[in-house]
Amino acid sequence: MNTRKDRLRSLLGGQGAEAAPPATAPASSSGAAEPPKRASSAAVKAMGLSLGTLSQEADEARRLRETLAAGERVVEIDPALVEPSPFADRLSKAEADDPDFEALKASIAAHGQQVPVLLRPHADAGKAARGLYQIAYGHRRVEAARALGRPVRAVVKALDDAALVLAQGKENAERRALSFIERALFARTLLGHGFDRATVQAALAVHKSEMTRLLQVAEAVPRHVARAIGPAPRAGRPRWMALGALLAADRSGLANDEMAAADFRAADSDTRFQRLFDRLSASARGRAPQAAGKARRIAGADGQAIAELARAGRAAKLTIPESAGEGFADYVAARLPDLHAAFTGGQGGGQGTVKNTKE
């Protein structure tokens, strides 16, 4: 009987048969011996720990499944399997037009790629089956990894075209911003692919009037000229619009001659813009003055006339009617210094004079 008790005590209380027997329980006031206090069960504890571990592992497995389903796992992919976004947004060519690219490459070489890129399986089912991807954002990081001969760290998600361009635009806004001409061409590209204006405005984080200005520049400057110049980050909308007008008046092919010059191609992007602008401006100054009566009507966002621009020799006259709004002419005059600074890019020098009058 004692042997059976010892075995039972060994199983439930963790004490072996060879252990010293427990002290005799003190007698109660009635003289009967009180039952011994129940020892904690090591077997039950072990079972509880095992169940807890299994539960924790199950939770981790569930979280892992959710992470994989959401496409949030960071993986390493050969850059040779990665293609650019089908909706081009940059004119820079890595080392050629991106002065920060070498610094990015050096940082990745020294410290690794800290921020993953976002990819989607290729939109072409055949290419996707071969393991190819398209970039939603992170083109520069992919190029840096390619140049360094190392895999690119990426998150892969199934994105439709709309989700891709929204992610692409958001990343551009938060990281190296697009120049004005890049944003203009990107807007035109997205519209050309059938996206509605609301989606394009969301991708570029612009309001309706800014969208109109971007598209005006995209229409005024031929794409092949913009690509030859590059991003030209110091040139804003006024200078690109002025260049568009000069290009429209170029009948002798001066623009093509300039863009074909070795010095032009060897220069940085802002210098290429200035070279082409200066050459076409000099040619325009040598032409005969426009005939009278060729004033250009300028309309507002609602289509109503807000000004007329007339040229006479090397001067220009901007006439603002009262219908444009009381005080609008004074507002334009007050803004002229800022507009001129944006036009010249801080280099000084104008292209003729502008006179504001009220009718």
CATH of the domain spanning 178-287, picked from 1.10.1740, 1.20.1630, 3.20.20, 1.10.10 = 1.10.10
Looking at the structure, give the CATH architecture of the domain made up of residues 65-176. Alpha-Beta Complex (3.90)
| Residues 47, 40 contacting (CB under 8 angstroms) | no
State the Cα–Cα distance between residues 167 and 157, nearest whole angstrom.
Answer: 11
| Residues 277, 239 contacting (CB under 8 angstroms) | yes
User: pTM surpassing 0.85?
Assistant: no
| Residues 354, 317 contacting (CB under 8 angstroms) | yes
Give the distance, in angstroms, between the CA of residue 134 and the centroid of all CA atoms in the same chain: 15
CATH 1.10.10-classified regions of the chain: 178-287
State the Cα–Cα distance between residues 141 and 101, nearest whole angstrom.
Answer: 9
Select from 247, 272, 268, 242 the least CA-distant residue to 259: 272
- pLDDT tens for the chain, 359 residues long, are 555 556 555 555 544 444 444 444 444 444 445 555 454 555 555 555 555 545 555 554 454 445 444 546 889 999 999 998 888 777 766 555 566 788 888 889 988 998 888 999 999 999 999 999 999 888 888 989 999 999 999 999 999 998 888 888 776 654 556 789 988 998 898 888 888 898 888 888 889 999 999 999 999 999 999 999 998 988 989 999 999 999 999 988 899 999 999 889 888 899 999 999 999 998 888 754 444 446 778 887 777 788 888 776 557 788 888 888 888 888 888 888 888 877 766 544 444 444 333 33
Q: Which two tokens stand for residue 211?
A: 């969208």
**Cα–Cα distance list, 291 to 219, 221, 253, 315, 354 (Å):** 26, 25, 23, 13, 18
CATH 3.90.1530.10-classified regions of the chain: 65-176
Q: Which two tokens stand for residue 132?
A: 């190819």
